[in-house]
Amino acid sequence: MDLLVVLSFEALKAVASLALISVGLAIIFGMMRVINLAHGEFLMLGGYAAIVATKAGVNIWVATLLVSPLVVGLFGVVIERTIIRFLYGRPRDTMLATWGLSLFLVGLATTVFGNTTEGISAPAGSLQIGDYRIAAYSLIIIVIAIAVFAAIWAVFRFTRYGLIARSTMQNADMAAALGVNPSRVYAVTFGVGAGLAGLAGGVMAPITGIVPTIGAAYVAKAFITVIGGGPAILAGTVSASVLFGAIDQIITYLSTPVIGEVALLAAAVVLLRFMPQGITGRFFRRAA
Q: Which of 164-173, 220-229, 271-280 has the lowest mean pLDDT?
A: 164-173
Whether pLDDT at 55 is above 60: yes
Using the predicted structure, report yes or no on whether residue 22 has a pLDDT greater than 90.
Answer: yes
Residue 181, phi then psi, degrees to nearest 5: -95, 95
Whole-structure pTM over 0.85, yes or no? yes
CA distance 54 to 170: 40
Report the pLDDT value the prediction gives residue 126, as an integer from 0 to 100: 67
Taking every pair of Cα atoms in the chain, the longest distance, rounded to a whole number of angstroms, is 64
| Mean of pLDDT values over 12-26 | 91
At 232 the pLDDT is 84
Domains of the chain: 2-283 (1.10.3470)
* Average pLDDT of span 270-286: 79
Segment 115-123 shows an average pLDDT of 84
pLDDT of residue 214: 92
Least confident of 42-46, 69-73, 152-156: 152-156
Phi-psi region for residue 256, left (φ > 0), alpha (ψ -120 to 50) or beta?
Answer: beta
Mean pLDDT across 31-57: 93
Assess whether pLDDT exceeds 90 at residue 31.
no
Q: 3-state class of 67 per DSSP?
A: helix
The single-letter code of the amino acid at 113 is: F
| CA-based torsion, 21, 22, 23, 28: positive or negative | positive
